Amino acid sequence: MAQKPSGRRRADVKINFFEQFELRSRSSVEQSQRAKAARLARKAERKLARVTQAEMLGANAEAQHINGAVVPAIALTRTERIRPLKNFATMSVAAGLLATAALPAYAMSPDLAAMTRLITTDAAQIASNPDTQNLTVVAVNSEKYSRSTYKTISANELLRQQTLAAARGWSGPTAADFLLNPPYPKYDTAQVMKVANKYVGVPYVFGGDSPAAFDCSGYVAYVFAQFGIALPHSVHGQARLGKIIKPEDALPGDLVVFNDLSHDGIYAGNGNFYHAPRPGDHVKLATIYTSNIFFVRLGIDG
């Protein structure tokens, strides 16, 4: 007859059962964790692959149509994409450095200066030089240097000084000469217009009283002196020597005087007059451009 197990053995069996259960449970948990980690790793790899593919094909690869088939363009890396920009920047910097280095050589080259043939700052010599082609003095600034200092003269001022020097050096007949021996002893309106027109284009210089340069009253006095009529070199003085007449009664040869006595000229009819306008201008036939005037008829028997 079989021997009945003792209580001690039953207890041992019971303990072994729980130990095996615990071991199996722990192993199952570890396997589950490893499987989960593997799934997460595979998921991360797939996501990284999709992102990489999107960057390569979406950012730089546009579909190319060749013979009706759609062919994806070759993807470029970031280094390849910015390579043209790097090349352009490098060439720009190199060109700038080359230009900067070459500039002083051109500026200081005696050979280049000699090629220009500008060996003088005198405008008259420059204009008379056969190598000078249509040099516009008005567009030139003449600079006079003295040791370490210099003085800049504008083109207008230089032209004014030259015109004034020519006026002062006038050697032809003056208004006083004409008064002693007038070329037109008899006053004639048509002849007055011809004489006035003869000086169109003479430059204006304040104080000018000869065909080298005129101001307004100097011009008027010079024209009437040729008819033996003495007029002062003054707008105010010329206006006082005649009789004020109505505008509708004005005739060619009458004086056009501004109300403020700042200017005058010789009336030519039809709202026009001969006058020497202002610095930088010249004698011309022009429309009377203001209504602030009055007419003066000199004491002449026509």
Residue 227 pLDDT class (50, 70, 90 cuts): very high
User: Which amino acid is residue 109, in one-letter code?
Assistant: S
Q: Which helix (H) or strand (E) holds 24?
A: helix 7-54
The domains of the chain, with CATH numbers, are 173-298 (3.90.1720.10)
Confidence of residue 139 (pLDDT cuts 50, 70, 90): very low
Count the helices and strands in the chain (H runs, E runs). Answer: 9, 12
pLDDT digits (tens, 9 = 90+) for 25-42: 677 777 888 888 888 888
Coil, strand or helix: which one is 119?
A: coil
Average pLDDT in the 143-149 region? 49
Locus of tokens 């030259």: 162
pLDDT at residue 190 greater than cutoff 90: yes
Higher pLDDT, 290 or 13: 290
Of the pLDDT bands very low, low, confident and very high (cuts 50, 70, 90), residue 99 is low
> Is-above-0.95 flag for pTM?
no
Instruction: Report, as an integer, the average pLDDT of 229-237.
Output: 96
Cβ neighbours of 104 (radius 10 Å): 9
pLDDT at 143: 46
Q: Which of the pair, 58 or 257, is modelled with greater confidence?
A: 257
182-219: burial string, b at 16+ Cβ within 10 Å, e else:
beeeebeeeebbebbeebeebbbbeebbbbbbbbbbbb
Length of the chain: 302
* pLDDT for 138: 40
Confidence of residue 168 (pLDDT cuts 50, 70, 90): confident
- With a CB cutoff of 8 Å and minimum separation 6, the contacts of 279 are 160, 204, 205, 206
